[in-house]
Structure 1
């Protein structure tokens, strides 16, 4: 561990858990209570972020309440509270990590109507951190105090689940002869899979209880859900819900503002994403920024909110066009005008800087490139679990490059196949002892 900086209220430390691991940055924060000091702190963090590819975890006492759900008692939370903190986290693409433990991390030590409780401690991570450590889990002590949080790995839970499956007490979901799924961990979320039976639910609850006794992290029934297939025996469904004491749900819900669904999402499903993206590009900001600053802000916004969704699905053209329309109006400082004459075409704006453009992204091309990237990973990373699942489901007797889309296929698979045409343009074959692929195609 190397302490790289220790300004007031902040401690930056670079870690390497092993010589082969990527270097990561963990920043500890103990924010001041004075509003002007906190603004200076968030500005300092925003002006001095780590390099773009560095996994970053920011954690500690932020001394900020962002919304009313993070406070109970006392004066209501105003719109201005936590605004500068939220701006900094949005700008740096930091995701607030959910955690196990009490909702509130501080109280004023009083009783009755004078009791005030707030969530002041939190941990946030950027996308690079979640890619390297997707199993990171944040644990808050069960007693409200000023102790910092600890990072808990899900290895123990994975061991207990695998042990139950090995004993035959937990029947995982089988995708093919060689692929089955019993559990997946991502960030602070845990997904458990099993055939629908009371016996399997009993095995899962035993695993969760044993894990809770060892770690102090117990399942929260109100924050958990059981998802069933569309066509299922109603009496079995009721028996499972009654035994687990967890509510049923038709889907996983939302992640980063977008529904997780096996079906093709409609334009209405992206309303939250559109509103959140456009709210970062406001009319009053255009009047305060010059052309270069507006361009930089647009790139920052497009590299945060829409980016996560575009990596896994093709967004509807209407959604992409609405995003680009908002960006164009903001760039030309015409947010409040329905009709205006741009200084040059958007296609030229999207050209690289070396070719006379502003380096903006053409969202349709960018979205297609992400599908192209997924196809490339299918070819180059056959041992990945998600690749094995797609292989067992869609091209077990063929190859990815020879697959033909079918109307009954999942929307994700059809989107990946749409990027295959672009992938084929960039693939060349290199002769040798074995057949290999070389990818060399770049699209703006």
Structure 2
């Protein structure tokens, strides 16, 4: 693969979402990613369906392109020996085993760094390697609950609600990616790798951004606001004549334009609404006045009028509408790959648009151990030895 990370080899021992999402991005950027599973496969997401494409779940497919598949039994000494041989020619190791597992196998950073001082070693876990919860397993749903995400999602009527995707896994994968690439940049200067400790809990709390800051500054516990914004108005959903839309007025100038857009110039002169701080004090009154206007016309008309005046707004689209959007297609956010099983698979494209070192889509998500023989051959292991290892359930 060509790309900004071409020449970098990543040993990927991660499963499910956060780790595989991180390593897929590295693969999109040109790194050689070797996905290691136990013989027979142990990435749970392979079975998380329907839907499936000839036995491969859509969930598994979404985060595993641009990887080669290798099987190894890491509970065996031979399996661990092969992994150590693979690490010798690698730059990055990423895993998301429970804290203490790699130490038990003698594959933790402290055990490896003397022989591989240049290795960037990233451990993704639920709660990190330190602290009273470090031994617990972490799952996105539980982390959303613990981190405060659910407490601020939904409305007072709905009660606590999780985000519609595994958002803490996604955030963790992105943070891990940033950390790995930063460590590689630093290694170029120092010649040394380092250990990275990334947790879902930390990533989720960091992802609270302004809501966390509001609490830390004021001491007030945030409430569930549904589709309202805690600091800005009008910044919410509104009913229209034929549906709903989002209006996202971000400053006082935009509010002046919005008042003209909905043919309500009187709102610009009303002292209750001139400044955002005043609008926040009279949010309910303002909402009623805006709603009276917006319910007179269809969503499409309001979207057109608002966009003409540069007012942030949006229709509320179903997923099928998203992938039919001409803009989404123009941005190449839908790609097709030929899978090893003979099927064409549609996937979400990379959001990384780079002018010179573009992302590439070289390898479809691997079948269990699809490239085992190829990788072992590169390590100097013969076909005969591979057969013995298979019979011993090492690979």
TM over 0.5: no
- Normalization by structure 1: what TM-score? 0.25
- Bigger relative contact order (CA 8 A; separation at least 6): 2
- Normalization by structure 2: what TM-score? 0.28
